[in-house]
Amino acid sequence: MELRKDEKPVLSTHDLTIRFGGHVAVDAVSCDFHRGTLTAIVGPNGAGKTTYFNLISGQLAASAGHVWFNGEDITRLSVADRTLRGIGRAFQMTNLFPGLSVRENARLAVQAHQRMGMDLFSMADSHVELIERAEHILAEVHLLDKAEQITSELSHGDQRKLEVALMIAIGPQVLMFDEPTAGMSVDEVPVVLDLIRELKQDKDRTILLVEHKMDVIRSLADRIIVLHNGELVADGDPTEVIASPVVQQAYLGVAPEEKTEGAHV
């Protein structure tokens, strides 16, 4: 697929850096992400992929550099503000509202998107349109039949799907998946991959994907960037990047493809 480089990027990071004491976890990463593309971010464990995500979605504050979103500098904005602007995040460690029902989880995200949280005096359940929207999204991730269940009772795979549902519900322009298939059983993986493929159909969306499984990356990504020790070491077309010596050494050399795949089953 052709990258529309001529267009302004939706999201870009400019010399984005974070230091923890003397350790530089993300080191001056500059990268543009364009509308309608799916970029895979790869690198060995500890390369700074999740930290890079945290800098973009705001869980961590950058030591230096900038994050731009639709032409606006969002480096100093709070997580909530970035989310409301359209940066969605599905977390690596499942991160839900465990004591609430699956429907309520999704409904809360829809409610946040509609900016109705400060409504004090109406009944939450009287806003049928929010519930319908939540159920629509649950149907998209194949969870509608489990809407009544308490979230903590869901299987791990279903919790991952709900994680994705929460991200979709906030109506994001940028969708960040952090190892969406990690820990899933073999038959659940295709469901999530199909879902990402479907989300990709919408050309207004920009997807960032941290993933270890090379076959997944090959089938989904338009572009790969490689992080190693916090630095951006390669960027480009998936087949080329995977074949390049720097990647073979930095990434595949450390964690061979077969081994990573085997570890997840």
Partner 1 sequence: MIVKLLSGDRPRSKMLSAVLLLILFGLLFAPFLFPGTRSLDTAARICIFIVLVASYDLLLGYTGVVSFAHTMFFGIGAYGTAIALVNMGASYSAIALGTVCGALVAGAFAFVIALFSLRVKAIFFAMMTLAVASAFLVLVSQLSGFTGGEDGLSYRIPREMTPAFKLVKEKVLGVRLNGKLITYYVVFFSSLCLFLVLLRMVNSPFGRVLQAIRENAFRAEAIGYKVVRYRSVATILSAVMAALAGSLMALWLRYTGPATTLSMDIMVDILLMVVIGGMGSMYGAVIGAVLFLLTQSYLQNLLGLLQESLGSLPIVSEVVSPERWLLWLGMLFICSIYWFPKGIVGRLRGT
Footprint of partner 1 on this chain (CB under 8 A)?
Answer: 57, 59, 78-81, 83-84, 89, 91, 95-100, 104, 107-109, 111-113, 115-127, 166, 169-170
Total residue count of the chain as it appears in this document: 265
> Smallest gap, in angstroms, from Cβ of residue 16 to partner 1?
19
| Comparison of 81 and 215: residue with beta carbon closer to partner 1 | 81
- CA separation, residue 43 to residues 61, 103, 188 (Å): 22, 35, 24
| Comparison of 48 and 86: residue with beta carbon closer to partner 1 | 86
- Separation CA 106–CA 58 (nearest Å): 22
Among residues 104, 95, 21, 32, the alpha carbon closest in space to that of 59 is found at: 95
Return the residue matching tokens 């659940």. 188
> Smallest gap, in angstroms, from Cβ of residue 136 to partner 1?
17
> Smallest gap, in angstroms, from Cβ of residue 163 to partner 1?
9
Q: Are 11 and 66 in contact (CB under 8 A)?
A: no
Q: Are 14 and 68 in contact (CB under 8 A)?
A: yes
| Comparison of 125 and 202: residue with beta carbon closer to partner 1 | 125
| Comparison of 128 and 186: residue with beta carbon closer to partner 1 | 128
> Smallest gap, in angstroms, from Cβ of residue 53 to partner 1?
11
> Smallest gap, in angstroms, from Cβ of residue 103 to partner 1?
12
| Comparison of 108 and 209: residue with beta carbon closer to partner 1 | 108
- Separation CA 1–CA 7 (nearest Å): 15
